[in-house]
Each structure stands twice: as C-alpha cells, then as structure tokens.
Structure 1
Amino acid sequence: MQPSSRHDDIIALLSEAGELSVEALADRLRVSRETVRRDLGRLDAAGRLRRFHGGAKAIGVPAPVMDKEWPFAQRMAQNAAGKKSIAAAAARLFEPDDSLFIDTGSTTVAFAEALAGARSLTTITNSPRIAAMLAANHAHKVFLIGGAYGADAGESLGPLALEQVAKFRVRHAVLTIGAIDPACVMDFDLQEAEVAKAMIERADRVTVLADHSKFDRRAVFEVAPLARVHTLVTDLAPSEPMAKALEAAGTRLIVAGAE
C-alpha cells in the first residue's frame, strides 16, 4: 500500500472512531507499529489529525455529547500509555503521611500502581483492586469501603458505601471523572457520582485525574464545579477555552510530561 493511500485510510478510520491507538491502527492496516508512528507524525505535522502518546484522534469533528461510557474492561485498555503518564505525575503530588480518598476508575487503578511504592500513606477506597495494590506495601494503611458490589468496575456503591465514606476526614480526594466542560466535572453513573461527591465533601483538597478524551464533553450527573477542583492532571493540554476556564476557577493544571 502506498503511503498516501494508507494516510487516507488512517484519516477515515479516525473519522469513524474518533481516536485510535497505534496498536489498533497497525492491526487494521496490517502494518508495523513503527510505520503507523511515522504516518501519524507526518499527518500531525500536516494538520490532518492530532497525535498523542500511544495514538491519534481526529480533528475538525465536534466532540459528541456523550450519554454513556464504555465498559470498564474496555476503558482500561483505552489510552493506557496516557493514563500511565498521568498516574506517574499525580503520584509525585503526595507526601508521606498524607491521607487520600481514591475512587474507582481506569486512571485511578494506574495511579494506585504508581503510588504503591510511596511511603506511609493512609488511603480509603471503594475499589478492592486498588486496596490490594496499595496494601501490598506494608507501610501503607488501607481502608476498603464496603457496600453494594458494582460488578463492571469492581467497586462498592450505594447507601452503605456513602455511610462509610462519611466516617472519614482526609486531606485529599483523588478522583476520576467521565467528562469535563468549562463549568464542572461530571460522571455517567449516578451511584459513582454520589461516591465521588461524598469523598469531596470529606476532603480538604480535590485532585482529578482525566485524560484528554474527557475534555469538552458532558455527562448526565454533575460531580463538582471546577472551582472545587484544586488540581487537574491530564496527558495533553486542553483547548484554549477549557484552559481559560480552569485558570478562572483557580484549578492547577498539570500536563503529564510537561511539569
């Protein structure tokens, strides 16, 4: 296949999917990952797509107003490299003896993995997977919130979980979200939004971990206004209007790899 034809195929695939990883493009085009990376570099330089670490996204196509999100297992695989870089940058924000709420999400799972080597933290989470990762380091003190079990993401939800969250008071809440616009951060699931709001209520400071795909989108349930978010860690810089909204809200923006 000639490069120009392959470039057109890449643009067509991205126009259909919105964004794809290097691995997915290589599989669909039946070429090497290195070939895809070269193609993405050229197409990005030509302004035909937006390249990010591990993949690319279409440009010139308005982001849809989303009313659902992918199953958790699929979200774990999406932009894994970007989420890993977010996790590494976020893990450096916390000091020994800090206390943290951590909610359940694909990015907070990566964050817990990055945080596991830190010293003497107290963490409270509604994710058995995150609790197990952190508890492997015996210097950590870990509390697992119970409640109704949400099988998709493997998390505790519902009134019992909310009641237990209310028994703690911590320095930081570290949360994932489903969407963010210039007004607020949002989620697609009511029970997950309720857990996040309860954690925010019992925390002094709020840190949100969100990859670039969450920007300029909307979900059904508001979690918090931007002004309640002290720090946002992401993998790519947001649009100029979004960056201005964060600045106006007093939210510290950290772009992983550009700190």
Structure 2
Amino acid sequence: MKPADRHNRIVKLVQQHHDVSVEMLATQLDVSRETIRRDLSALDGQGRLRKVHGGARPGMAPTQLVPQAEGPFALRMADNAEAKRRIAARAATLFDAGDSVFIDTGTTTLALAHALVQAPALVIITNSWRIASIVSSHAEHRVFLLGGACNPDAGETLGPLVLEQIKRFHARHVFLTIGAMDTRTIMDFDAQEAEIAQAMIERAEEVTVLADSSKLARRGIFDVAPLSRVNRLVTDHAPPPDVAAALDRAGAEVITDQP
C-alpha cells in the first residue's frame, strides 16, 4: 500500500472510531507500529488528525491550526529520525565538487552533515558547531564556523555577530531546516534562528529547504521567506495538494526520497 493510500485509511479509521490506538491501526493496516507512529506525525502536521499518546483523535482543519512550539533539540533529533536521514542522503547528492554552501542549525541539517562526510570537496559555512565538527572530518572540505552567542541546546551560535559575519560570504547554496511551511511562506519558531536563515538566504544564489512531511501545511511563528524564494524542497513524501500547488506556482522543485 502506498503511503498516501495508507494515510487516507488512517484518517478514515480515526473519523469512524474517534479514538484509535497505534496497535489497532498497525493491525488493521498490517504494518509496524513505528510506521504508524511516523504516519500519525505526518498527518498531525498536515492537520488531518491529532496525534496523542498511544494513538490519534480527529483534528482540526489546517486553516484552524495554531502555531506549535518546538521542543528541546535532543527530543527533536529523535522525531522522524529515519525520514530525516533519507532526506539528508538525497540532499547530499545535489552538490557539485567545489560548491559553497550555507547550512543552518537543525536536526535535518545535522543529518545532512553526516551525509556530507563522503561528498565531494565543498566550502561549508555554518552557525552549528556540531555540523562544523562532523564535516571537518572530511579533510578536503573547507569549513567556516560562524561565531556569536552560544545556544548550548542546539549547539548553535546566534545574534548580531553571526549576522555580521554572514555578510562577508557569498555562497552558491543555502540548505535550511524549517519549523513549518504553508501555501505562502517558510517559517520558524525562534526569532533569532529565523534571522540567521534570512541572512543566509540573502547571501546565497539558490535556496534548498529540507523538511520532513510533518512540517508541511503547518504554521510557524516567524516568517523566514516566501515560497517564491525557494528553489527546491527535499522531503520524504509528496506535499499536501494545496502546498504542492503553491510550490509549483512559485517555481520550486519538489524532490522526495521515494524512487
């Protein structure tokens, strides 16, 4: 069964039974509980249901969704980890040897850093000391770590010192993680992180967004950039129809990790 068909079955079962458990859905659809948990995360992000502990309930329509806050970085690392790994592996194929790239701080870009250890030689500019440490294990990469106020939770630097240093670089690419995307814009939940992303976008030729499907058709708090500034989205599943249509109108390419 294709993921989209399974998602539709899950939504129908939730609407029929109101409260459903992960165990019940796994049995009904003959898939693993981990697959169901990933599906529920994606469907919750799209507003098609509400994921709760141990299962799901009917949710509000996407237009009724309120912004959600992001949790601690370590917890987000575990959320949709396999999808992020696959997205990162696909994104790592989009570089040419010698490319220069900004990479912001996030759980999916941290997965990208691991994938880039085997990539052709790149020039990498980042505000994440974790990312800088990982990609520096490739002796041919040139790595620039932007300095500023340290946020130990995410392992990143923030603030005006970082913004000033970004202005000294010009890169072919910027690869960003985001908190949310709707039919209008890409968004984040932290004002300083949104500022970093905006500054990197201003100094890059092409903008690539890395986002698992739980981030799509979701609202953030701070706008980062309109969809018209996005050149490509790398994700694990095809976006919801309204988001896909908006990306098409904006001229953005959608790349999934599906064959």
* Range class of TM-score, shorter chain: 0.7 to 0.9
CA distance in 2: counterparts of 1:16 and 1:87, whole angstroms: 34
CA-CA distance at 1:56 after TM superposition: 2.2
- The aligned counterpart of 1:199 is 200
Q: Which amino acid aligns with 1:188?
A: F
- The aligned counterpart of 1:123 is 124
Contact 1:236–1:255 (Cα < 8 Å) also in 2: yes
Q: Which amino acid aligns with 2:195?
A: E
Q: Residue deviations 1:178-233, cap 9 Å, x none? A: 00000000000000000000000000000000010111111111000001000100
Contact 2:26–2:36 (Cα < 8 Å) also in 1: no
- The aligned counterpart of 2:39 is 56
CA distance in 2: counterparts of 1:82 and 1:105, whole angstroms: 14
CA-CA distance at 1:106 after TM superposition: 0.2
CA-CA distance at 1:54 after TM superposition: 6.9
Query: What CA RMSD, in Å, does the superposition of the two structures yield over aligned residues?
Result: 2.8
CA-CA distance at 1:115 after TM superposition: 1.0
CA-CA distance at 1:109 after TM superposition: 0.3
CA distance in 2: counterparts of 1:40 and 1:79, whole angstroms: 22
Q: TM-score, normalised by structure 2?
A: 0.81
- The aligned counterpart of 2:171 is 170
CA distance in 1: counterparts of 2:162 and 2:210, whole angstroms: 22
CA distance in 1: counterparts of 2:39 and 2:77, whole angstroms: 17
Aligned length: 228
User: Where does 1:226-237 land on structure 2 (aligned, <5 Å)?
Assistant: 226-237=227-238
* Secondary structure of 1:104's aligned partner: coil
2:83 paired with 1:100: no
Q: Residue deviations 1:49-77, cap 9 Å, x none? A: xx958732154423532241111111000
CA distance in 1: counterparts of 2:26 and 2:149, whole angstroms: 47
CA distance in 1: counterparts of 2:36 and 2:226, whole angstroms: 29
- The aligned counterpart of 1:218 is 219
Q: Residue deviations 1:95-152, cap 9 Å, x none? A: 1100000000000000110111112100000000000110001010000000000122
Contact 1:40–1:56 (Cα < 8 Å) also in 2: no
Change (3 A) 1:183 1:129: same
- The aligned counterpart of 1:39 is 27
User: Where does 1:18-167 land on structure 2 (aligned, <5 Å)?
Assistant: 39=27, 41-42=29-30, 55-57=38-40, 59-60=48-49, 61-62=59-60, 63=62, 64-167=65-168
* Secondary structure of 2:153's aligned partner: coil
Q: Residue deviations 1:13-39, cap 9 Å, x none? A: xx889xx9xxxx6xxx6xxxxxx9953
2:235 paired with 1:239: no
* Secondary structure of 2:225's aligned partner: strand
Q: Which amino acid aligns with 1:233?
A: V
Q: What residue ranges of structure 2 are gaps of 5+ in the alignment?
A: 1-9, 50-58
- % identical aligned pairs: 49
Change (3 A) 1:200 1:102: same
Q: What residue ranges of structure 1 are gaps of 5+ in the alignment?
A: 1-6, 30-35, 45-50
Q: Which amino acid aligns with 2:93?
A: R
Contact 1:89–1:257 (Cα < 8 Å) also in 2: no
Contact 2:101–2:125 (Cα < 8 Å) also in 1: yes
CA-CA distance at 1:253 after TM superposition: 0.3
Change (3 A) 1:56 1:67: closer
